């Protein structure tokens, strides 16, 4: 996973705990999960629009 070992992950977790504190980590994780879910939903919406409307060019002319 991204070339990170156990020691690096433990160090990152320790730094996050020091900066944010143990009380805010669940809220941060929940907000991050909601953001990822919203991003995936919007990507699926765009893909659906492109599939439903085939006359829309897939490449944008940059001229």
pLDDT tens string, the chain, 63 residues long: the values are 478 899 998 999 899 889 988 888 889 889 999 999 999 999 988 888 877 777 756 666 565
CA atoms within 13 A on the CB side of 58: 5
pLDDT of residue 20: 87
pLDDT, residue 61, reads: 58
Measured between alpha carbons, how far apart are the two ends of the chain, in Å? Answer: 40
CA distances from 47 to 5, 36, 38, 42, 55 (A): 36, 17, 14, 9, 14
What is the pTM for the complete model shown? 0.55
Q: What is the pLDDT of residue 60?
A: 64
Between CA 53 and CA 17 the distance in angstroms is 48
Diameter over CA atoms, the chain: 53
How far is residue 62 CA from its own chain's centroid? 28
């Amino acid at each position: 996973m991204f070339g990170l070992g156990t020691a690096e992950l433990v160090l990152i977790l320790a730094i996050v705990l020091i900066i944010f504190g143990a009380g805010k980590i669940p809220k941060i994780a929940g907000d991050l999960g909601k953001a990822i879910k919203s991003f995936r939903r919007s990507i699926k919406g765009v893909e659906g629009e492109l599939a439903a409307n085939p006359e829309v060019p897939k490449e944008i002319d940059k001229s």
